[in-house]
Structure 1
Amino acid sequence: MELIALLQEAAPVMLLGAGYTLLFAVASMIGGLALGVPVALMRIAPWRLLRLPASLYVSVMRGTPLLVQIFVIYYGLPSVGIEFTPVTAGVLALSLNAGAYLSESLRGAIRSISEGQWRASFSLGLGYWQTLGYIVMPQALRVAVPSMSNTLISLIKDTSLVSVITMTELMLATKEVIATTFQPLPLYIAAAVIYWCLSLFFEFLQRRAEQRLNRAHLSR
């Protein structure tokens, strides 16, 4: 009974934190896609001037810890006159990080499409961007969905890092409840269950997206 009372007391704060976690994950996924798609296209472009900055961005984002990126954006940039609110800084850091990984998922999917389809498209009179948009990208998106969904699920867990910039997402909310109840084990387990449930929800959406794309592909 004490455990039930503890969870009932903690539920409002933890669920509010879970809402922020979901907000950060979805907003960062949208931001990551907005970055990842053009970066992927730049990475496969035949022009070196486009490939180099995109490659540098991906290398920096994948080669440095997300926690360091959060610190640079929230604590470092104000020293040069650029300031963000905790929400903006958190979403920006997560989006920049996710964009690098999403771009690589999409780039790999585009590369998996056989060169024969490119040549066949060119022989029909389509240009580079037409081939990419009408022939290659629809197939590449179907291939990329699983790995891109994995990035979203990882984002749900990575949101715990924004607690270092005072954002009351799920992990910080859990710590705040623990500070008043002195019951870390059941509350951390409850937080883990919430993270797991959020991940299961997005896994369900991933499977539905894959099924719809596969049906659309087979119906052609």
Structure 2
Amino acid sequence: MNEEFIFLLERLVPALNKGVLVSLQLIVPSAILGIFFGVVVGACRAFGGGVLRALANGYAALFRGTPLVIQLFILYFGLPNVGIYFQPYTAAVLGFTLCSAAYHSEYIRGGLLSIKRGQVLAAQALGFSTFTTLIWIIIPQAFRRALPGCGNEIVYLIKYSSLAYVITCFELTGQAKIVASESFRFSEVFMVVGVYYLILVSVASYGLRRLEKRLEIPGFGH
């Protein structure tokens, strides 16, 4: 058994497997919370009153307009200056959620605005409140239309979860950087890391395609 194979099996793969578990612990809650808050913010941007819509638009502009790494630095290194402290994992999940929700809100807003006004008027004529109309009639349709965009954001989330290591949350990329720095085998290490991310993205893309197919309504497309 040659040296490269021993390095791969005994040093690199165990470290990367440890890191990918942390990555999944970052990605899954961030994706779920990001979609949830994205729906809320998107609904406020599409149907909120003047102040509420302005706040939602400001939030989306702030988190879509600034680099994620800067947001993570502020959450982890900046907020302690005002007495707010987060553990690395908590800061990473919070940062990913806030950033992801801002992008999801744009897809959701577009989906909501694509629903014909007549459906809202018909629901109101049947006695539905605005909130009930949104929850049971508008948002389910809008989510189907926004799902490809939201799925694309989840794929991006998988990849930019690699930034967690900059605030000392050592996920897949962080573990790879440690191994590469100790062994000076940067090419080999990061080529294998690329394969890990490719597998994660491929699995997520397959799951999202299955979800789109599952939510398809016969006669109405996706």
- Aligned position for 2:115: 113
Letter in 1 for 2:145: V
Distance 2:120 2:47 in 1: 14
What CA deviation, in whole Å up to 9, does each residue of 1:123-175 have, x standing for no partner? 33323222212221111111111111111111111111111111111111011
Take 2:181 and 2:64, find their aligned partners in 1: how far apart are those partners? Answer: 34
Unaligned runs of at least 5 residues, structure 1: none
Q: Equivalences for 1:1-220 in 2 at 5 Å? A: 1-8=2-9, 9-214=11-216, 217-218=217-218
CA contact (8 A) 2:108 2:142 kept: yes
Following superposition, the deviation at residue 207 of structure 1 comes to 0.9
Which letter maps to 1:141? F
Contact 2:43–2:112 at 8 Å: present in 1 too?
Answer: no
Runs of 4+ in 1 over 3 A off after TM superposition: none
Percent of aligned positions that are identical: 38
Q: Secondary structure at the match of 2:141?
A: helix
Aligned-partner residue type, residue 4 of structure 2: L
Distance across 1 between alignment mates of 2:135 and 2:74: 36
Q: Secondary structure at the match of 2:86?
A: coil
Which is worse superposed, 129-138 or 189-198? Answer: 129-138
Count the aligned residue pairs: 218
Structure 1 counterpart SS, 2:41: helix
Q: How much has 1:219 moved relative to structure 2?
A: 8.5
RMSD: 1.5
Distance in 2, Cα, partners of 1:109 & 1:34: 15
- The amino acid across from 1:218 in the alignment is P
Deviation sequence 1:36-66 (CA, Å, 0-9, x none): 1211121122411211111111110001000
Q: Structure 1's 99 and 123: CA in aligned 2 closer, same or farther, altered over 3 A?
A: same
What CA distance in whole angstroms lies between the structure 1 residues aligned with 2:62 and 2:38? 14
**CA drift at 1:79:** 0.2
- Per the normalisation by structure 2, the TM-score is 0.93
